[in-house]
Amino acid sequence: MFRKKADLTALRVSKDGNATETAVQTYANKNRTVTLIGVRHAGTRSYYLAVRNVIDGLEDGGAVVHYEGINYPRHWDSDSDYAAPFINLYRARGELMAALGTRIVDQHSSVLCPPGDAWVDVDISPDTLGRMLDEKGIISAMPGRAAVIDDLTKLARNPDPEVAKEARIAFRIQYLKSAEPGMRDVANQKMGAEWDIVVDWRSDRASEAIASHPGDVVSFWGCGHLPRMGQTLLDSGFELREVEWLTVAEWGDFEPVSPATATP
């Protein structure tokens, strides 16, 4: 059991280097249990099924489900200029997954979407996030990130199979690299003040929602949020009781599949 200085990493490369994995962290105090599930926003359908099975099992046991809802499609009809950079990024990610033609799918093409009827969205909307960044005078890098994804999508759709292969290789390299030790700190440094709002502030909001509920909670968020959320639980007297790792994607999942075998 851990209270301080625990390794709260929620995303890693497997020991054999051939897969990425995300953490299911179970915290408890004398009164209740809180489970944090780190989620990658792109993975195999079998991965999302495993995540959903964990959520459903805990919900059946009486836990309330909290989730990161900012990038869910119900926000995508917004015509807000503040929301547009984020919505474009989320759409671009899904289009890339479809263009690559591998076993990797966008989270919103999985069993995590639509959310369960009783699940609680404890996040903010893309419009609210955009306004917060604007008030701080921070220019979001989201448009640039979406443009990079769009360029990769164009490569993946190229009729020349060798060009399309280059897109898959580039995506696989970046996908695995993002799970290497220390990459969260690198992202923090690159985003600068934007990280304070996009990641830390929203993580604290998720933690406040957990604290306000008296019973058991299961909360699933992007992996970058879990270290701060977990530390908040430790600081408030919880103990880290167990960590389980789920396989997001293996090396072979980045290879093209035919329509007949696209759904594992």
Spatial CA neighbour of 57 closest among 260, 244, 229: 244
CA angle, 171 then 94 then 174, to 5°: 15
> In this predicted structure, what is the pLDDT of residue 200?
97
The 10s digit of each residue's pLDDT in 11-21 is 999 998 889 99
Strand spans (E) along 68-112:
104-106
The 10s digit of each residue's pLDDT in 98-151 is 999 999 999 999 999 999 999 999 999 999 999 999 999 987 878 888 999 999
CA–CA separation, 12 vs 18, rounded Å? 11
The 10s digit of each residue's pLDDT in 150-161 is 999 999 999 999
> In this predicted structure, what is the pLDDT of residue 260?
43
Residue ranges per structural domain of the chain: 11-253
> In this predicted structure, what is the pLDDT of residue 261?
46
CA–CA separation, 204 vs 201, rounded Å? 5
- 213 phi, psi to nearest 5 deg: -100, 130
- Per the prediction, the chain carries an average pLDDT of 92
CA–CA separation, 188 vs 232, rounded Å? 18
Q: Looking at per-residue confidence, does 157 or 263 come out higher? A: 157
Categorize the per-residue pLDDT at 5 as very low, low, confident or very high, splitting at 50, 70 and 90.
Answer: low
> In this predicted structure, what is the pLDDT of residue 263?
47
**How deeply is 5 buried, as exposed, middle or buried, from its count of CB atoms within 10 A (0-12, 13-18, 19+)?**
exposed
- Is residue 94's pLDDT more than 70? yes
The pair of three-digit structure tokens given for residue 175, joined into one six-digit string: 């996908």
CA–CA separation, 261 vs 230, rounded Å? 38
pTM: 0.93
Neighbours of 224 (CB within 10 A): 21
The 10s digit of each residue's pLDDT in 179-208 is 988 888 888 888 888 999 999 999 999 999
Question: Could you give the maximum distance between any two Cα atoms of the chain, in Å?
Answer: 60
The 10s digit of each residue's pLDDT in 56-91 is 999 999 999 999 999 999 999 999 999 999 999 999
In our burial notation (b when 16+ CB lie closer than 10 A, e otherwise), range 117-140 reads eebbbbbbbbbebbbbbeeeebeb
- Is residue 3's pLDDT more than 50? no
